[in-house]
Structure 1
Amino acid sequence: MINIPVFQIDAFTDKPFIGNPAAVCLLMEEKSDEWMLNVAREMNCSETAFLLNKEMGISLRWFSPKTEVGLCGHATLASAHVLWEKGIVPRNEEILFFTKGGLLTAQYKEGWIELNFPAIEEKKVLPSEILLDALKVPVLYVGKSKYDYLVEIETEEILKDMNPDFETLKIAVPRGVIVTCQSDRPKYDFISRFFVPSLGINEDPVTGSAHCVLGPYWQKKLNKSELIAYQASERGGVIKVKIDDDRVYISGKAVTITDGVLLV
């Protein structure tokens, strides 16, 4: 029997039981998609990351409890945290992740993990009535990226009090909806929430990949290339965002919650 190291990490936080939990599996050999999906269901985090050493870097795939995911920030951050914490990669070395979303990198910088992700463009669209009905709040702007809708609303209070109709939202959007507004608090530039009921996650606690869209959006609105964001879920998390041409640098911290092995 081969014991497969598995960890649960709280990402985008420096305190336990906050931020976004991700499971990280360190594979010794290739595993089938069915096996990885079964493990993701068992771990029951919004995403489970599967890492496998390759000659040029680390192969990385992400699975939610329902399906494989094309791009995931918090599980990538959690993966980098494990690789450095366990001494698999020295902290002064950049990690190369080969993913279905392209080549992603991670660097350790003054206690923060900085991920290099692609900027994702969104364009203004006319929202459907079913989407507006599902959100149940007045909207200022609706855009659409290749993955998700981006919706700007007026105030932080409205954002925090949102209670969407998730069953209707499953019908209205193929994947998720990022809802955002400028922050009322000077320490943050903008805040957001991310709803993904079609992937079995009504609300994702802290979503790195959503900031690939949010970063460029707020860069244009605020005329700033370095931003501090807060994702206002029940658990919550802080994300540093830096935009450089077609790349978005997403930084956060992480905490190990469990450290064990899979026996199957």
Structure 2
Amino acid sequence: MNIERNIMLTVDKRMQEIAFYLVDAFSDAAFSGNPAAVCPLPAWLPDETLLRMTQQHNQSETAFFVRDKAGIELRWFTTQGEVNLCGHATLATAWVLFNEMGYPDPHIHFETASGRLTVTRDGDWLTLDFPACPTEPQTPPPEMLRALGLQTYVEARKGRAWLLVLENRQQVEAVKPDINAMTPGEHKVSITARGEGEYDFVSRFFSPGVALWEDPVTGSAHTMLIPLLERKAG
């Protein structure tokens, strides 16, 4: 992972100097992977201040965490507000703790809105243990399919977002969504298909209503994808 340390000033009754890190998750090169801002805090600031800080960072997600004797509490914000799960920002936070803040143990347990999340370090390899998100068969909204330019799909399911299984990798890569025709919140959707060669599957994730509406990698979407594909594999 590539990392950059910064200082910002924020206003919360008084001026505060707060360090934050810009981390390119899933990559070891600058300007690649999935960027997230990571901001350690001595104590929680008001939600309005956290949102304003996130808007200043102008990344898809900013992770804020407070570390005390009870553990590490972690929260994630987009420029629109707080979200209940973010994979790449969790990975970025763990990287900061391990590599910039000298966290001594091989396991980090985060207390979050989605429960306890664990990141394990093995050398340079970090493994995220996230809760599986169940999905159920549902008929997708016609207006969402039109916005995606899809006339056919293999399977449609709904969990924390929509999940559409397509015929092949080429169909996934060819999707060019009309994101402005998609309803924020209601039309968040992951599209996937069986992979080729060394890849088990391919996927993309669209989230209308946010500045970066397609992440390079969306960790939280895999909480839906992995259980489904594992079941299909037998």
Normalised TM-score (structure 1): 0.79
Residue 54 of structure 1: CA displacement? Answer: 2.3
Q: 1:149 aligns with which of 142, 162, 177?
A: 162
CA distance in 1, matches of 2:200, 2:139: 26
The letter for the 2-side match of 1:212 is T
- Tell me what 1:128 maps to: 141
- Tell me what 2:43 maps to: 29
- Tell me what 1:165 maps to: 178
Q: 1:60 aligns with which of 55, 71, 74?
A: 74
The letter for the 1-side match of 2:178 is D
- Tell me what 1:247 maps to: none
- Tell me what 2:89 maps to: 75
- Tell me what 1:139 maps to: 153
Residue 183 of structure 1: CA displacement? Answer: 0.8
- Which digits, 9 at most, give the CA deviation of each residue in 1:125-176, with x for residues without a partner? 012211211111221111000x2000111111121121011112126x5251
Contact 2:144 2:187 in 1 (8 A): no
Residue 15 of structure 1: CA displacement? Answer: 2.8
Contact 2:39 2:65 in 1 (8 A): yes
1:208 matched to 2:208? The reply is no
- Tell me what 1:48 maps to: 62
The letter for the 2-side match of 1:193 is R
Residue 199 of structure 1: CA displacement? Answer: 3.2
Contact 2:106 2:122 in 1 (8 A): no
Provide the aligned length of Structure 1 versus Structure 2: 219
Q: Which runs of 5+ in 1 are unaligned?
A: 224-264
Q: Which runs of 5+ in 2 are unaligned?
A: 1-14
RMSD: 1.5
The letter for the 2-side match of 1:111 is D
CA distance in 2, matches of 1:86, 1:180: 35
Residue 204 of structure 1: CA displacement? Answer: 1.4
Structure (1 or 2) with the greater strand fraction? 1
- Tell me what 1:182 maps to: 194
The letter for the 1-side match of 2:48 is E
CA distance in 2, matches of 1:93, 1:108: 5
Contact 1:47 1:64 in 2 (8 A): yes
Once the two structures are overlaid, the 10-residue window that deviates more, 198-207 or 59-68, is 198-207
Which aligned runs of 4 or more in structure 1 are off by greater than 6 angstroms?
Answer: none
